[in-house]
Structure 1
């Protein structure tokens, strides 16, 4: 796959559609790659580059809505525009609930598609940045030892019982040991207090819930 800005992927089992969209979008400066099936796209995409996905709804084997579910599960930085010749209201509602930018019925005006692609690329870049931020936070939590993670779990589950004495009593260790672990936890998570720790964990859980 190419590595240019303004990437657009076209996934459609209709060769004529793939050819016409690739030509038209390429003439407008987009880096376009076309695939005849959802599986072909999944085999080729690296999951890293922010892009707009122009996706046909009614494909055999794996249709567009089924591919959308896979993409959301993988938390990839893609913004989807559905195009369809035989989708109805239930399908469009499901697509939009899944985070699609729009659901266009064939035939559609290329100018309408271009407008939506530009909006989709902005959304995709925002998703890429958010995913990178989540990954960075997960990386901080992965630095914790088992005991440090146990203390963090206690703090998150019992936000009213976060003194060293209270944590020590629950875990069966000395308050001095808890103090040592707390200092290391704050350092590894790059926060200044347990309050910031709780906010960091809440933000990560909220992003994960929204992304899922």
Structure 2
């Protein structure tokens, strides 16, 4: 199971890497059949005989999913699903089994599995399940990268700019912020402009949405400051 030349393990610069399907099944013939199926539509595939081999393999920074057999040699696929959740390895799972029942299906789906396919399954059913899983993981990765970019933008703000931002997203006017921070309105306006520029916000509403995504707490001025600025 060597790394493909067109892929980059997590932790390296990856860009827009193609999706990856991981197959975990102790049946060699099933691993081969699934590998051929997924490769036939241009997917990158990595196959594993055991959960230990899968965990030791460096994961790609790309939309991914795990096709997992419920019954592995000496271990349970459902128990491994719980282990992955506890280790915070976020990857959609498509279960397959030759011994499935309703209780197994319900448990797997409640734990976040995308689908649960009984062997023998139709190739198209497996492809549809994997397509859904890869789409979901692609959306997750895009959201994570967006938040990481926003966080980097927020961290580029100076302490004073962050304070101004907290007042701005609370809905305070420049003169109210100036009074609360003991600054001139022109200084507040300059800081506010820098905040908008660094955060890539096109409007106040856009800035508020970005602050909410980062869980930045709005900062309210003291009542006497609000009253004083309103009188001027």
CA distance in 1, matches of 2:165, 2:71: 47
Structure 2: which 5+ residue stretches go unaligned?
A: 8-17, 216-232
Residue 54 of structure 1 aligns to a residue in which SS?
A: strand
CA contact (8 A) 2:70 2:76 kept: no
Aligned counterpart, 1:202: 212
Change (3 A) 1:117 1:202: same
Within the candidate set 58, 69, 80, 2:85 is matched to 69
Q: Bigger CA drift: 95-104 or 138-147?
A: 95-104
CA contact (8 A) 2:96 2:118 kept: yes
What is the aligned length?
198
CA distance in 2, matches of 1:123, 1:50: 8
CA contact (8 A) 1:55 1:64 kept: no
Structure 1: which 5+ residue stretches go unaligned?
A: 206-212
Residue 45 of structure 2 aligns to a residue in which SS?
A: strand
Deviation of 1:107 (Å): 4.0
Within the candidate set 113, 135, 139, 1:100 is matched to 113
Aligned pairs for 1:58-207 (under 5 A) are: 58=71, 60=75, 63-69=79-85, 73=88, 78-85=91-98, 89=102, 91-156=104-169, 159-160=170-171, 162-170=172-180, 172-176=181-185, 177-203=187-213
Change (3 A) 1:114 1:15: same
What TM-score do the two structures reach when normalised by structure 2? 0.66
Change (3 A) 1:84 1:196: same
Structure of greater Rg: 2
Q: Which has the higher helix share?
A: 1
Please list the CA deviations of residues 159-207 of structure 1 after superposition, one character each: whole Å capped at 9, or x if unmatched. Answer: 24x223333444x4324443332121111001133332102233456xx
Change (3 A) 1:147 1:11: farther
